[in-house]
Structure 1
Amino acid sequence: MPHVEISHFPADLDAAARARLDADITAAVTRAFGVRDGAVSIGLAPVPKEEWTERIHRPLVTERADPAGLLRSPDY
C-alpha cells in the first residue's frame, strides 16, 4: 500500500525516463502517505488514443462513482 496506476497514451519511455518517473512518484507518495518507499507499487497502463474516452475518461473521470476520489481533473 499504496499502489499508483498510470493510464497513458502509448509512449516509449527509456530506462532513464522510467527511473525518473519511478523516483518522482515514489517520493510524492511516500511523503503524502507517510510510508516507506518499499511499500509503493506503480503500474503503467498504455491505452490507445482512440480508446481513451471510453476506457479512461468517461468511467474514471466524468462518470466516476466517487467524485471526491478524483484528485485532479483534466482541462479538456
Structure 2
Amino acid sequence: MPHVDIKCFPRDLNEEQKTALATEITAVIVRHLQSKERSVSVALNEIEPDDWKMVWDAEIAPQMDSLIKKPGYSM
C-alpha cells in the first residue's frame, strides 16, 4: 500500500523508461503520503483507444465526484 494503477493508450516504452516512470511516481507517493518506498507498487496497463470507453464507464465516470484530478474530456 499504496498501489498506483496507470491506464493509458499504448506508448511503446522500453524497460528503462518504465523503470524511470515507476521511480518518479514512487518518489512522489513517498513524499506526499509518507509511505515507505518498499510499500509502493506501480502497474502500467496499456489500453487500446477503441477500448478506452470501458475504462471511462467502469472507473472514471462513476468516480467523477471523488477524483482529485478530473480529466479535461468527456465521453
Q: TM range, normalised to the smaller chain?
A: 0.7 to 0.9
Q: Percent identity?
A: 29
Whether 2:75 is the aligned partner of 1:63: answer: no
Distance in structure 2 (CA, Å) of the matches to 1:74 and 1:47: 16
Gaps of 5+ in 2: none
1:24-71, Cα deviation, whole Å (9 max, x unpaired) = 100011111111111000111111100101x2122222222x722x12
> Aligned residue for 1:26?
26
Shift of 1:17: 1.1
Pairwise mapping of residues 5-24 of structure 1 onto structure 2 (< 5 A)?
5-24=5-24
Task: Specify the SS of the correspondent of 1:51.
Answer: helix
| TM value normalised by structure 2 | 0.84
How many angstroms does 1:16 deviate by? 2.3
In the other structure, the counterpart of 2:4 is 4
The root-mean-square deviation of aligned C-alpha atoms, in Å, is 1.5
TM-score by length of 1: 0.83
- Structure 1 unaligned regions, length at least 5: none
Q: Which runs of 4+ in 1 moved over 3 A?
A: none
AA partner of residue 67 (structure 1): D
